[in-house]
Amino acid sequence: MYNCELLRFMNITDKQGNLTPVEGNRDIPIEIKRIYYITNVENGAIRGYHAHRKLHQVLICLKGSVNIKTLNPKEEHIYKLDNSYTGLYIGPYIWREMFDFSDDAVLLVLASDYYDESDYIRDIDNYMKEAKHRF
């Protein structure tokens, strides 16, 4: 199991605009304890560079586009998120990097738990050591 998966949400479109609902534990496999969102990312900036030991997340690009590289010790994938009705589920022990943010990109992240610094692995060598027996 790679521990990453694209999810497709409802997109209710009419002349009043687009509306997408996402219900915790229903449309996504996690409860939404925390959200965060990223905007105004400079051209060329790369974010992420970490993995989580326990946290599950769903990334949704609400406007514009962004590329997400995910990897574990055995596989690497790049996902282009460029619409508001697709989410990228990322499970524990997946290293992620976000890059090629468009100027107008708005990236929303839904997280299964509150912020906990001890859940982060921020060094790729340490990540590889901890993760290599899990995949």
Enzyme catalytic residues: 50
Radius of gyration of the chain (CA): 15
Q: Decide whether 29 or 73 has the Cβ nearer to its own copies.
A: 29
Q: Which of 72, 68, 78 is nearest to 109 (CA)?
A: 68
What are the structure tokens assigned to 109, written together?
A: 């992240």
From the CB of 127, what's the least distance to its own copies, in Å?
Answer: 20
From the CB of 134, what's the least distance to its own copies, in Å?
Answer: 27
C-beta of residue 132 within 8 angstroms of C-beta of residue 68: no
From the CB of 47, what's the least distance to its own copies, in Å?
Answer: 6
C-beta of residue 58 within 8 angstroms of C-beta of residue 7: yes
User: Would you tell me which residues interact with its own copies (CB under 8 A)?
Assistant: 15-24, 26, 32-42, 45, 47, 62-63, 84, 101, 104, 106, 108, 110, 114-115
